[in-house]
Structure 1
Amino acid sequence: MSGDDVGTGDGSDAGGADTDASTAPPEWEAVFWDIGGVILDLESVQGAHAAFVEGLVDQHGLELSVEEAVDVWRTAVGDYFRERDGTEFRSAREGYAKGVEALVGEELPRETWEPDFEETVNASIEPIPGAPETIEALAERDLHVGVISDVDDEAGKEMLERFGVREQFDSITTSEEVGRTKPDPVIFETALEKAGVAPERSLMIGDRYDHDVRGADEVGMHGVAFGAEDGPAVSYRIESPEEVLEIVDGT
């Protein structure tokens, strides 16, 4: 984490992890993580979905190339999410059902495709390198370690379990639980209430500026951009999960 990579929260450079003592909290109380793109490698998810779609093409004798089928799938799933009202929660699993229906031309019973979907995803998804180890290291510190994610509740917890870090988290807050997605303040406020911590002493690690970083900033938290776009809400920018430890430890 170079000096040019760390922001002060007003869009300017802070000169390394040592932010101005007059603006930085003297002690952090909580670190919250997004899942997708921060703990979960999204490329591995895309690969899993492509493998599942390829299986559907074979099983149903579809006259589509795998690339064409994946495009149909992604369009249907994307349309499902784009139709939601603002930050209204919509289940990803329902979106996947829409993708299956668009591909095969009819609604299929869940039991005919969900087991294959789950098996393919579980066999393919991978964590972001360094994320599990960093989560474990944070759990050893006197901090609340939490999740704030737009995933379906059960699916998110299963991912964390698969990566061996679920027990390291003190709280898990999902958009399914609260009925709203980021950047709605209710999801951040719910997580803060569970943790019993002050927002100004809390870090939120996210890969999307508007949803994760700015959403956190608007409730008084400090946004940590991991692949997210730049902007005035970025308090810190990291290139690897391990650099969160430098922020927490003030090194």
Structure 2
Amino acid sequence: MKLTNVEHVFFDLDHTLWDFDRNSALAFKEIFQEHKIELELNNFLEVYMPVNFKYWELYRNNAVSKEALRYGRLKDSFDKLNFETTDTTINNIADLYIQYLPKNNHLLDGTLEVLDNLKDRYQLHIITNGFEEVQHQKMQTSAIHNYFKTITTSEAAGVKKPHPQIFELALQKSGAKPENSVMIGDNLEADIIGAHKFGLNVIYLNPLEHQIQSLYPQVKKLKELLNYL
């Protein structure tokens, strides 16, 4: 069912448009090879990905700092794998990861098709909890920066999704009204519930088909957004 009266489309970035998992794996592969980290990459990623998810949840809830997230997700992963290393090495890998990550440019399937379809009919925007210094680089490297009128990061807002203040800032920057806007993202709490509480229309990108309340429209693939927009 088409959404009516929508003029502004707000996207999350990581895991919604930008293929975070694939690009992250490539960054770690490069780091491990260059610095002779004797770990099998897939074994590391199997442990790291849920640890990283946990730390981002803590970061979103202001339970850890950005620095603690960057260090802790690596330290915990290495500990789980019984891989002995030093704090100096961990901090070095953490810094290199932030440098290498945005050099990779893979997008989720359907991203360019959807953006090309929407760009002339809506004003497009980004709202992201990702770090200020890397989100713009990711979008430049993957050639999607020019699709978006505004980019609102949690660091610029001083709060993270689902806090209402980040949605308020994004709407102020864009000149949009909640009732004329839709938020699209992969995180139910941060993107969907947060935006819905602020009055935006929402569409949940749910590739793993998590069970959710039926009041939120959802799609499994990005191309399905065109059924709504």
TM-score (norm 1): 0.71
> Secondary structure at 2:109's aligned position in 1?
coil
Go from structure 1 to structure 2 and tell me whether the alpha carbon gap of 1:29 and 1:85 turns closer, same or farther (over 3 Å shift): closer
TM superposition shift of 1:110: 6.0
Query: Per-residue displacement from partner, 1:157-215 (whole Å, max 9, x unpaired)?
Result: 11111121101100001111112211111111110111111101101001121111111
C-alpha distance in 1 between matches for 2:22 and 2:179: 34
Is the CA contact (8 Å cut-off) linking 1:33 and 1:146 kept in structure 2? Answer: yes
TM superposition shift of 1:242: 3.1
Larger radius of gyration: 1
1:184 corresponds to 2:159: no
1:213 corresponds to 2:227: no
C-alpha distance in 1 between matches for 2:18 and 2:74: 23
Counterpart of 2:81 in structure 1 is none
Counterpart of 1:231 in structure 2 is 213
Go from structure 1 to structure 2 and tell me whether the alpha carbon gap of 1:46 and 1:80 turns closer, same or farther (over 3 Å shift): same
> Secondary structure at 1:223's aligned position in 2?
strand
C-alpha distance in 1 between matches for 2:46 and 2:223: 35
Is the CA contact (8 Å cut-off) linking 2:102 and 2:137 kept in structure 1? Answer: no
Aligned length: 219
CA RMSD of aligned residues (A): 3.3
Q: Aligned match of 1:140 in 120, 131, 137?
A: 120
Is the CA contact (8 Å cut-off) linking 1:213 and 1:233 kept in structure 2? Answer: no
Moved more, 33-42 or 104-113: 104-113
Counterpart of 2:139 in structure 1 is 160
Is the CA contact (8 Å cut-off) linking 1:87 and 1:182 kept in structure 2? Answer: no
Is the CA contact (8 Å cut-off) linking 1:144 and 1:170 kept in structure 2? Answer: yes
> Which amino acid is 1:214 matched to?
I
Query: Per-residue displacement from partner, 1:120-157 (whole Å, max 9, x unpaired)?
Result: 6624x51011112322332222x321001111112111
TM-score (norm 2): 0.77
Counterpart of 1:10 in structure 2 is none
Higher helix share: 2
What is the percentage of aligned positions where both structures have the same residue? 20
C-alpha distance in 1 between matches for 2:183 and 2:60: 25
Go from structure 1 to structure 2 and tell me whether the alpha carbon gap of 1:28 and 1:81 turns closer, same or farther (over 3 Å shift): closer
> Which amino acid is 1:188 matched to?
F
